[in-house]
């Protein structure tokens, strides 16, 4: 029951002293990035164990607001909400073969009857199976079904708080269509819903092309929030707007203009294995070297040559070779294929004369380069790749991870590399899952056809932290009003004075009645402490109610995003309008 003469008993009120808010002065020891530090210090979440968090009342409010935005935009896009179990039977995963291929990221367990289950890391199998049982006719299509449900992944390195946790909230949606055009429409429908979701969360999220993985050349975009703390690299081209993650990003490179060189010769490079070591030993820059690595592609060794200062992009390599899997070869394989240990291998006369050799496009025409001699502790100098290694034109392709300044494959302008946090992904799946489940519909001639699918994920809990990463300063979080735990904090500076408390409480009721959520800081603390906490948590608007201010004409209104000096004093009865305006101008 509410007291203090309130009429509207159904209006929620929140006083700091009853809110369980606890802010911390110290950064948590395991926090590397600002948003993780602020998440904990502002009392939004608490770590329960590595990669596992409890959402505290403040964090829960923001999480619910993000969920609600996601839900509204999914509903607006015509998607249907359901909820499916977190505990998923192994049989469904066996249907697609993913029970074995998901690897250690999937949590597996048994019930008392020894039946196997997974804690859902995603739900393609469950949704495809549901669609198969719910959909029989083309008349029911297209349809998109979604849920907002906890997901589990045994990440190799859970870190950065909610960004990469073992348990996280994801919105996952799955679309079912009769044909490719329909699947295309469903895809863009979700893509545009995602644009609206992130914009409403106050986030600048950019769609970037990504690699379709096992789904061949299928279309997929990741939505990234640009932030230096992001785990992913993204290549951007200002010239044509091309944006792709580093797995996918393609580049153009002109053949090199090396001058002819004399016959190659051996040089001793004892113990100098890495490019850095050999470069230092011979006193030459890394780009004069050819880095040669042996991979195993679908069980067969392949040598990949790239310029010494570049890294192999395994996704591109896999595509170029048309292989199902590629991985670096073990020591034994390297020795057998080349005659030397890693660090001294090269494309000139490897031990296995039939070893397939491919090279990055930037090495086309490379002459006078240094390569491993296929003999431990030796390199070859003055190598002409075409002359000495017999690498033919068809064996060159774009095989490296792009770098800042690389040339855009689309328009020829230089690209820039930025860091991003993946907050969502949209994916055209084709019939990979529906074919495995034989999820078919009948067309108008009563013939069976496999449905065409798409899947669409939003990392809801990761988005919460991405907002903090994008919106903070040295004092704390600067919440966008749409997802702030409370939009307004009323600082009652004199909670022991009934006349001041009445103004603060009346303002609270009036704001709630106007649909603005508000918390009253009723602590008997010094103003400095209260303001520091308000800045740390980052409520969009702070209203100060104190005896001194009231005597001087009113309450003080300040937006968190404004400079400290920018403050407005208004009479208490004009406060609601002024606060509304402050929130709108936010």
Positions in the binding site for ligand ATP (CB under 6 A):
122, 153, 155, 164-165, 168, 170, 422-425, 457, 459, 461-462
- Closer by beta carbon to Mg ion, 149 or else 568: 149
- Give the dihedral of Cα atoms 37, 39, 41, 42; nearest 10 deg: 150
425 lines the binding site for Mg ion (CB under 5 A): yes
Min dist. Cβ of residue 170 to ligand ATP (A)? 5
> Among 294-302, 394-402, 424-432, 552-560, which window interacts with Mg ion (CB under 5 A)?
424-432
- In the three-class reduction of DSSP (H, G, I as helix; E, B as strand; rest coil), residue 155 is classed as coil
The smaller minimum CB distance to ligand ATP, of residues 422 and 533, is found at: 422
H helices present in 201-236, as ranges: none
Q: Which is nearer to ligand ATP, 418 or 558 (CB)?
A: 418
Q: Which residue number places its CB atom closest to ligand ATP?
A: 459
Q: Is 191 helix (H, G, I), strand (E, B) or coil?
A: helix
Verify binding: residue 463, Mg ion, rule CB under 5 A.
Answer: no
Binding partner of 164, given ligand ATP, Mg ion, none, CB within 5-8 angstroms per partner class: ligand ATP
CB of 58 to ligand ATP, least distance (A): 19
Q: What is the helix (H) or strand (E) element at residue 576, kind and residue range?
A: helix 575-584
Say how far residue 543 (Cα) sits from the centre of its chain. Answer: 36
Q: Please tell me the distance from the alpha carbon of residue 347 to that of residue 355, in angstroms, as a whole number.
A: 9
Q: With CB cut-offs between 5 and 8 Å by kind, which of ligand ATP, Mg ion, none does residue 153 bind?
A: ligand ATP
Alpha carbons 476 and 166: distance in angstroms, whole number:
26
- Give the range of 64-72, 372-380, 390-398, 419-427 binding Mg ion by CB under 5 A: 419-427
Min separation Cβ 454 and ligand ATP, Å: 13
DSSP state letter for 255: P
The CB density around residue 531, as the number of other CB atoms within 10 Å, is: 20
Using CB under 5 A as the binding rule, whether residue 144 contacts Mg ion is answered as no
424 binds, among Mg ion, ligand ATP, none (CB under 5 to 8 A by kind): ligand ATP
Residue 61 binds which one of ligand ATP, Mg ion, none, with CB within 5 to 8 A depending on kind? none
Distance CA 226, CA 348 (A): 43
CA distance 367 to 553: 81
State the nearest-atom distance from the C-beta of 202 to ligand ATP, in Å: 17
Q: In this complex, which beta carbon is closest to ligand ATP, that of residue 46 or of residue 356? A: 46
Q: For residue 230, how far is the Cα from the chain centroid?
A: 8
Q: Is 122 in the site for Mg ion (CB under 5 A)?
A: no
Residue 427 beta carbon to Mg ion: minimum distance, rounded to whole angstroms: 8
459 binds, among Mg ion, ligand ATP, none (CB under 5 to 8 A by kind): ligand ATP
Handedness of CA 437, 123, 209, 159 (dihedral sign): negative
* Minimum separation from the CB atom of position 297 to ligand ATP (A): 23
Alpha helices in 438-526 (DSSP H): 460-470, 498-513
Separation CA 296–CA 6 (nearest Å): 74
- Which listed option, ligand ATP, Mg ion, none, makes contact with residue 165 (CB within 5 to 8 Å by class)? ligand ATP
> What is the closest distance, in whole angstroms, from the C-beta atom of residue 71 to ligand ATP in the complex?
16
Give the Cα separation of 572 and 213 in Å (integer): 59
How many angstroms separate the Cα of 572 from the Cα of each of 252, 568, 586? 64, 12, 21
Residue 520, contacted partner among ligand ATP, Mg ion, none, CB below 5-8 A by kind: none
**Residue 461 near residue 162 (C-beta atoms within 8 A):** yes
Residue 89: which of 108, 73, 61 has the closest Cα? 108
**Would you say 175 or 487 has its CB closer to Mg ion?**
175
> Distance (Å, rounded) from C-alpha 66 to C-alpha 349?
60
Q: How far is the CB of 425 from Mg ion (least distance, A)?
A: 4
State the binding partner of 311 from ligand ATP, Mg ion, none, CB within 5 to 8 A by kind.
Answer: none
**Shorter beta-carbon distance to ligand ATP: residue 126 or 408:** 126
Give whichever of 138 and 223 is closer to ligand ATP, judged by the CB atom.
Answer: 223
The least distance separating ligand ATP from the CB of residue 155, rounded to whole angstroms, comes to 5
**Beta strand spans in 316-465 (E):** 326-328, 356-360, 369-372, 378-383, 396-397, 407-408, 415-430, 440-442, 448-450, 452-459
Q: How far is the CB of 208 from ligand ATP (least distance, A)?
A: 12
Beta carbon nearer to ligand ATP, 45 or 518: 45
Q: Residue 479 and residue 488: Cα distance in Å, rounded?
A: 11
Q: Which is nearer to ligand ATP, 483 or 541 (CB)?
A: 483
Torsion from C-alpha of 397, 400, 403, 406, nearest 10 degrees: -10
**Residue closer to ligand ATP, measured from CB, 73 or 422:** 422
- Identify each DSSP E strand in 164-252 by its residue range: 167-177, 205-209, 220-226, 232-237, 243-245, 251-252
Contacting residues toward Mg ion, per CB under 5 A: 425
């Amino acid at each position: 029951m509410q007291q203090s003469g309130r009429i509207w008993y159904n209006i929620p009120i929140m006083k700091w002293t009853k809110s369980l808010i606890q802010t911390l002065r110290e950064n948590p020891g395991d926090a590397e990035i600002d948003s993780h530090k602020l998440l904990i210090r502002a009392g939004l979440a608490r770590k329960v164990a590595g990669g596992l968090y409890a959402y505290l009342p403040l964090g829960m409010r923001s999480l619910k607001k993000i969920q609600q935005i996601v839900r509204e935009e999914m509903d607006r896009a015509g998607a249907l909400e359901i909820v499916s179990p977190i505990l998923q039977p192994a049989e469904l995963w066996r249907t697609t073969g993913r029970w074995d291929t998901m690897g250690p990221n999937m949590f597996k367990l048994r019930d008392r009857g020894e039946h196997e289950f997974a804690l859902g890391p995603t739900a393609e199998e469950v949704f495809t199976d549901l669609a198969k049982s719910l959909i029989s006719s083309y008349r029911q299509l297209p349809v998109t079904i979604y849920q907002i449900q906890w997901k589990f992944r045994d990440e190799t390195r859970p870190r950065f708080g909610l960004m990469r946790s073992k348990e996280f909230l994801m919105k996952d949606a799955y679309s079912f269509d009769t044909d490719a055009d329909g699947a295309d429409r469903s895809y863009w429908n979700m893509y545009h819903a995602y644009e609206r979701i992130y914009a409403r969360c106050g986030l600048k999220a950019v769609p970037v092309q990504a690699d379709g993985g096992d789904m061949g050349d299928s279309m997929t975009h990741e939505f990234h929030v640009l932030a230096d703390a992001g785990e992913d690299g993204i290549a951007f081209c200002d010239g044509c707007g091309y944006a792709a993650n580093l797995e996918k990003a393609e580049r153009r490179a002109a053949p090199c203009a090396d001058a002819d060189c004399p016959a190659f010769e051996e040089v001793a490079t004892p113990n100098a294995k890495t490019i850095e070591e050999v470069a230092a030993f011979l006193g030459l820059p890394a780009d004069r070297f050819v880095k040669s690595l042996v991979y195993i592609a679908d069980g067969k060794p392949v040598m990949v040559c790239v310029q010494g200062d570049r890294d192999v992009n395994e996704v591109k390599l896999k595509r170029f070779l048309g292989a199902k899997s590629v991985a670096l070869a073990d020591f034994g394989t390297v020795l057998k294929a080349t005659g030397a240990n890693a660090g001294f291998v090269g494309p000139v006369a490897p031990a296995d004369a039939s070893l397939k050799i491919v090279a990055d496009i930037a090495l086309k025409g490379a002459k006078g380069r240094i390569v491993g001699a296929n003999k431990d502790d030796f390199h070859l100098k003055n190598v002409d790749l075409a002359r000495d290694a017999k690498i033919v034109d068809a064996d060159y392709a774009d095989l490296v991870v792009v770098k800042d300044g690389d040339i855009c494959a689309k328009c020829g302008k230089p690209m820039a590399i930025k860091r991003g946090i993946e907050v969502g992904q949209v994916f055209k799946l084709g019939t990979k899952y529906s074919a495995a489940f034989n999820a078919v519909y009948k067309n108008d001639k009563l013939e069976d056809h496999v449905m065409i699918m798409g899947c669409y994920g939003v990392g809801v809990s990761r988005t919460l932290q991405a907002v903090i990463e994008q919106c903070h300063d040295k004092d704390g979080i600067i919440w966008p009003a749409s997802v702030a735990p409370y939009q307004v904090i009323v600082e009652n500076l004199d909670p022991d004075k009934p006349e001041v408390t009445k103004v603060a409480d009346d303002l609270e009721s009036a704001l709630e009645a106007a649909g603005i959520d508000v918390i009253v800081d009723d602590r008997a603390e010094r103003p400095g402490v209260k303001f520091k906490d308000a800045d740390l948590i980052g409520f969009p608007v702070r209203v100060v109610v104190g005896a001194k201010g009231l005597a001087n004409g009113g309450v003080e209104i300040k937006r968190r995003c404004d400079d400290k000096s920018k403050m407005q004093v208004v009479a208490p009865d004009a406060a609601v309008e002024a606060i509304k305006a402050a929130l709108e101008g936010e």
